[in-house]
Amino acid sequence: MILALAGFMGCGKSSIGRELSRLLGCDFADLDDVIVQNTGSDIPEIFAVCGESGFRAMELGALETILTSDGRPANMVLSLGGGTLMTQECADLVRSLSTCIYLRASVDTLEGNLLLVGTENRPMLSGKKPLRERIEELMQMRSAIYESTAHYIIDTDGKDDRAIATEIIKTLGL
Ligand code: S3P
């Protein structure tokens, strides 16, 4: 089974994904890391050179390879990027070829986490708008798509990575 973790930037997809794969004893991949490895460029560089649309095309290509290649592991945890599901083809692939879990967090939690880790590597959050306003704006565009694409929704506010990973395992009966 491929477990795809979805959710907004700063919701903890990568760290929870790592914890979950550790608890399940299966492979882990982070879609952003795969793109960085494939291109040899970091995410801000890719956005600067190819624009958001170029990045989204790479995201779709990488996702397609991970979900459909013959050599894919039978069981793995895959952390998506925060905008992956906004590409319809990506959402269709995730919905049909993985079990998708939306890690749902409030704007307060997202803002707190993003302030802690910084936003320099996240071009979708750069610009003149205050961080909170930008989170609210993007969440307004995205939350319905996260919710309709995911097979399961886990609310994460106030919970640590371990508790969230354990809740996913329990919810899915793994
Ligand atoms: C993006 C989220 C990022 C990365 C890229 C675009 C987005 O991933 O894919 O910067 O559009 O929300 P994280 O959610 O892992 O930060």
Q: How far is CA 86 from each of CA 56, 60, 131, rounded to the nearest angstrom?
A: 9, 11, 20
Measured distance CA(9)–CA(139) in Å, rounded: 10
Average of per-residue pLDDT values in the chain: 97
- Atom of ligand 1 minimally distant from the CA of 14: 15
Intra-chain end-to-end CA distance of the chain, in Å: 10
pLDDT tens per residue across span 28-85 = 999 999 999 999 999 999 999 999 999 999 999 999 999 999 988 899 999 999 999 9
Cα 72 to averaged position of ligand 1 atoms, centre (Å) = 23
In single-letter form, the type of residue at position 103 comes to: L
DSSP string, 90-158: HHHHHHHHSEEEEEE--HHHHHHHHHHH-STT-GGG-SSS-HHHHHHHHHHHHHHHHHHH-SEEEE-TT
Spell out which residues line ligand 1, taking CB within 6 angstroms: 9, 13, 32, 43, 81-83, 122-124
Cα 117–Cα 120–Cα 125 angle in degrees, nearest 5: 95
pTM recorded for the entire structure:
0.97
Cα 134 to averaged position of ligand 1 atoms, centre (Å) = 13
102 has pLDDT over 90:
yes
Cα 76 to averaged position of ligand 1 atoms, centre (Å) = 20
pLDDT at 71: 87
Cα 173 to averaged position of ligand 1 atoms, centre (Å) = 29
CA-proximal residue: ligand 1, atom 10 (nearest): 122
Distance of CA 140 to the CA centre of its chain: 17
CA-proximal residue: ligand 1, atom 11 (nearest): 83
